[in-house]
A and B are shown apart, each in its own frame.
Chain A
Amino acid sequence: MNIRFLLNGETITLEKARPEETLLDLLREDRGLCGTKEGCNEGDCGACTVIVIDENSVKPLNACILLLGQVHGKAVRTIEGVGVDGKLHPIQDAIIKNHGSQCGFCTPGIIMSLVAAQMNNEKDHDVALAGNLCRCTGYAPIIRAAEVAQQVVLPEWLIFDREKLVSCAILPSLEQPKSSDDIAALLVKSPKTRLIAGATDIGLWLTKEFRDISPFTFLNQANDLTKIEEMEVDYKIGAMVNIEDLRLWAASVSPSYGELLRRYASIQIRYAATIGGNIANGSPIGDNPPALIAAGARIELRCGESRRTLPLEAFFIEYGKQDLRDGEFLESIFVPKDFENLCCYKISKRFDQDISAVCGCFNILVQEDRIVKARVAFGGMAATPKRATHIEEALIGRDWSLATIQSCENLWDKDFTPLSDIRASSAYRLKTAQNLLWRYYRESLGETCNVLEVSA
């Protein structure tokens, strides 16, 4: 496969490239650009952060799980290419002056994240930097540097790269599907083709498990699947909508869902990962499925020209088994519009950039003190994302009161028999699931129950 992209302003053409090679390996091993570091090779530390630019976005991404097939047609900037006017970028300068580097190994990645945040006008440094680990500094000096260099700078190379992308007309490779129709056609022809969406799962199959994934194709040029549309009763979300775009949308319709997605991995991962991948991988601990199940979402699966829809919860059959037939792919997700009181709680060992031990989502509607609707779904509590049907039944039709909540207490183990694993014990999972309903109830009475809302 022929791959072309801009690397620090220079056009790179890779003939006979292996599109499943990671950008990080290319940078460090073939291009001698060793400023981009490898700290984990799995998307969790941010040492490999680079900036990827196209006509309408500037994304910080983890090069260690970014495949060459995904950067085709884009402009990549590494730490070696962020200076302005032949001088340091103001953020580089601020890091020096504020003692933001000690061993320096995390530093290039942190600078790339901050440069991207500045270009995107993201002012919450904890959001911008959740995906960058530093073991030396304790973070405070980096934040001081970020604050000093707060002003929005659009470096000249952004314009340069965008113009060059147009002028040298890097055409999309002919081999990749450009639309949902193309994907459908391809899968009819060769149903065994592995679809690569954001590669935040698949990347790890390659870097850690050495899996052979052929035959495969990249979906990232199917632009018609990257839209969120407002329909009559539903929102329609394309499978290739990335989690960061989803978060920005979610924050506007359901702050709690938006907040859940803020705690989904890091900005680097969110910009890569897609909603389609987060559902299709069938993980019992993915964050979107419980929220969307509670919201009453349906998904649309497509095979050739035929489509079928099913409630999201029905898609998850058992661990590792989804209702996805040969030649079929996930095209869209439909979310009913009336989920503004959806409430999502994520329990994990660390607040940011961690996988849920328990993710509890409540969509409860109370009218005149009576519960008229209750959809409750959990991740991390079973082999698949799952509804708490006994709890739902115990709630619907009852009044919104202490007694009702208490009456649920003994029903949880009817709905769930969670596992013990490295993230949490079974007993803790069951207790916290139960307690999350408590929290939901107490919050509805106006009590502060969220430690993130407390300050000294």
Chain B
Amino acid sequence: MTIGSPLPHEAASLHVTGRARYVDDQPLPENALHLAFGLSKVARGRIVKMDLSEVLNSTGVFGVLTANDLPYENDTSPGAKDEPLLAETDVYYVGQPVFLVMANSHLAARKAAQKGKLEYETYPPVLTIQEALDAESRFEEGPRIYQKGDAETAISVSDRKLSGVLITGGQEHFYLEGQAALAIPSEDEEITVHSSTQHPSEVQHKVADALGFGMHQVRVEVRRMGGGFGGKESQANGLAIACAVAAIMTGRPCKMRYDRDDDFIITGKRHEFKIEYEVGFDETGKINGLSFIHYVRCGWSQDLSIPVSDRAMLHADNAYNLAHCRIESHRLRTNIQSATAFRGFGGPQGMLGMERVIDHIAHDLTLDPLIVRQRNYYTDAKDLKPNFKDMQTTPYGMKVKDFVLNAMTDEIVKTSDYYKRRKDIEAWNLNNSILKRGIALTPVKFGISFTLTHLNQAGALVNLYQDGTVRLNHGGTEMGQGLFQKIAQVAAKSFGINLASVKITATDTDKVPNTSATAASSGSDLNGMAVKIACETICDRMSGFLAEYYQEKITSVRFEGGLVQIGKHEISFPDAVQLCYQNRVSLSATGFYKTPDIFWDRIKGHGRPFFYFAHGVSVSEVVIDTLTGENRLLRTDLLHDAGASLNSAIDVGQVEGAYVQGVGWLTTEELVWDNAGKLMTHAPSTYKIPAFSDRPDIFNVALWDNENSEETIYRSKAVGEPPFMLGFSAFLALSHAASFCGKNYPELNTPATHERLFWACDRVKHGD
């Protein structure tokens, strides 16, 4: 039985021996060129003079390209055509690529790229959310508004009201492997690109446009990435295009990788949000009406900001049934890096806004926030009345038919001993004047599917060889999430064979065309299904033939345990394959899958954008030092709904990793720009992701074993993004701890650095 087994990552033995090859590890021909971008030093301006003579004279330099040298389209954007590969006349952020150096080594290219002499006419940059609002600097004509009921009236007639603001900071992906691409020209106007990208088809498309090629002249291959997290969905385009253009122009292989500082300075990050809320509720904590305004700091180009902001709106309810709710969203254009996809894709920001509201209400009513949560939860699927006419819906009109968080919450309350620990913490805090502890329990409900409906499709190619071994390919990319292993398990299960007989090859646009990005947690849902369908096609052909050959019913054919049963006959799988081969049965098939039943009108804000929801709950306990704001995570309990897990070890790994990454976003990971729009935290020396000792001392992780009510691949659920939001409990536990300093609400913003926490304690004590 391969489905569900906790098998190690497919490439684990390569990882541990250093044999796993990433783009930068590919052996290069002698004549290869190395590329580096020269970057804009101003946040907004016009280039009036560009003197690149010193660049050209720098040791090892082969040539330099500027926008004028580009043969065809000068664009890297995923859609809006607003992101030139090299700036034409105007520059829009500090770090925007302006010229491209080609040299005989990576170091020579980087050195030379420093030597460009650029003169600018500068304009005042639009940096902050407020500046963008003042300047009416935005994407789309005005704010998007989604609503249900009448929030304004519901708030105004409520017994109690609150309003507040939450700022959530951005986040750098910090994939351990920086962005990289390698382009190798071949004969007759064709090119092969090795790219560290989550979206090979988009790279193919963009490279073709940049070269004036058809997509059929471009092949993109991705074996693996050293982490992606959304940061290689559109951000990989620039390097791949640069390499391809340079390779075609010079006839030489070209490689580019960003040094870590450049990676920080050039590429997009998670969107910063400012969320204003107004809520009306009753004495029990039941919410009557809720209104949010999202201000989204999108950066200089559109990139994926529209769907990211949409997803934030679609998650503004998180786990709560809101009768009257209004969400308004402003997508603001600013002169910083263009914010992009990052695990959760806006969902985390939207959801945290909701959790802040709950926490604020609880503080106002001096209730345990857990009570307020439970009071407002959607109803669990099992408790819904059959044929219930007024089915509970989200603020965008989607029925919530698969909710499980009431039961999951009950479970984690027990396993984490929540109530007793909360009491103990209160007692402990009375006896400690300087250190304070806090605890919080937070839920996650996350919608699974691309909101752009047509992206919910996938293809696969399965080749069964005459010795009974399988080589397969699908549209998903491997970035560490274990997708390849899960898919191999699906294929092995379909043929009833051992995993050793299944090999997954690098993602390759030659084999499976028109793929969607490996994103939105959809990798195994979509590609797993496509592979299963392809395998079934082959199994069906084999069954048809074998049934006839053995004169048995076709329904009696079974593929299991390395054997094929045909009625009373039993032969080994390789023998069965050999027999089929000799009898001219086709042993290669493609598979295609599209998610059923989803539809979405993003302008009206209505429909069923998601196939289903994934859920999770977490409890975190922290201790803080009120003198300095220093803090520690003491214990974490996670319970996550991965449906019927395809591989429990990989899923647990995703949950643990996502939690820690989520905590990083909310605590130590702080992006700081100076007043001129320059990113000051552009390396791990100044941008602090969690380190080993930042994981909680006690870290209990469990999966909620529960089949998906929708028919997904073996009833599993997507697990890439949802657990990221489990990190909320750490943030709210910090807020809880700070609240012991006095009467006021901490109004903690993110990232809750030691300093922010210190000032929150101060606010709780003394007010603003």
Contact = CB atoms under 8 A, between A and B. Distances in A.
B754 A349 contact: yes
B632 A136 contact: no
7 contacts: A38-B24, A135-B689, A137-B657, A138-B699, A422-B680, A428-B759, A454-B634
B260 A40 contact: yes
A136 B176 CA distance: 9
Interface stretch (A67-75, A90-98, A232-240, A274-282): A90-98
Contact of B628 (A33, A79, A99, A432): A432
Interface residues of B, number: 95
A431 B174 contact: no
Contact of B625 (A36, A349, A450): A450
A448 B435 contact: yes
B586 interface: no
A392 interface: no
B491 to A, nearest CB: 21
B17 A37 contact: no
A404 interface: no
Interface string A14-53: 0000000000010011001111111111101101000000
A353 B13 CA distance: 29
A456 interface: yes
The 10 closest A-B CB pairs, nearest first, are A35-B18, A103-B480, A105-B226, A104-B15, A138-B660, A79-B18, A102-B480, A138-B656, A44-B684, A456-B635
Given A104-B20, A456-B635, 7 more contacts: A39-B260, A103-B224, A106-B176, A133-B176, A135-B227, A137-B656, A138-B656
Interface of A: 25, 28-29, 32-42, 44-45, 47, 78-80, 83, 88, 92-93, 95-97, 99, 101-108, 111, 125-126, 129-130, 132-143, 208, 210, 347-355, 357, 421-425, 428, 431-432, 435-436, 438-439, 442, 447-452, 454-456
Nearest to A113: B692
Nearest to B434: A449
A422 B649 contact: no
Interface string B753-768: 1110011000000000
Interface of B: 6, 8-9, 11-22, 24-25, 27, 105-107, 110-111, 114, 173-178, 224-227, 229, 259-261, 432-435, 437, 479-482, 621, 623-625, 627-632, 634-635, 649-650, 652-653, 656-661, 668, 670, 672, 680-681, 683-686, 688-695, 697-699, 701, 753-755, 758-759
Contacts of A34: 18, 21, 24-25
B691 A104 contact: no
A347 B630 contact: yes
B229 A102 contact: no
B682 to A, nearest CB: 10
B12 A105 contact: no
Nearest to B699: A140
A425 B625 contact: no
Nearest to A206: B107
Contacts of A432: 627-629, 758
B758 A431 contact: yes
Contact of A92 (B17, B260, B683, B697): B17
A351 B695 CA distance: 12
Contacts of B754: 347-349
A205 to B, nearest CB: 13
A352 B437 CA distance: 21
Given A456-B635, A456-B698, A135 B9 contact: no
Nearest to B656: A138
Contacts of A138: 653, 656-661, 695, 699
Contact of B15 (A32, A107, A425): A107
A37 B176 contact: yes
B653 A455 contact: no
Nearest to B12: A96
A136 B661 CA distance: 8
A47 B18 contact: no
Contact of B16 (A32, A96, A141): A96
Contacts of A210: 110-111, 114
Contact of A352 (B8, B621, B629, B693): B693
A37 B226 CA distance: 10
Contact of A99 (B9, B110, B680): B9
Contact of B434 (A101, A422, A439): A439
B417 to A, nearest CB: 10
A35 B19 CA distance: 6
Nearest to B697: A455
Contacts of B437: 454
B598 to A, nearest CB: 29
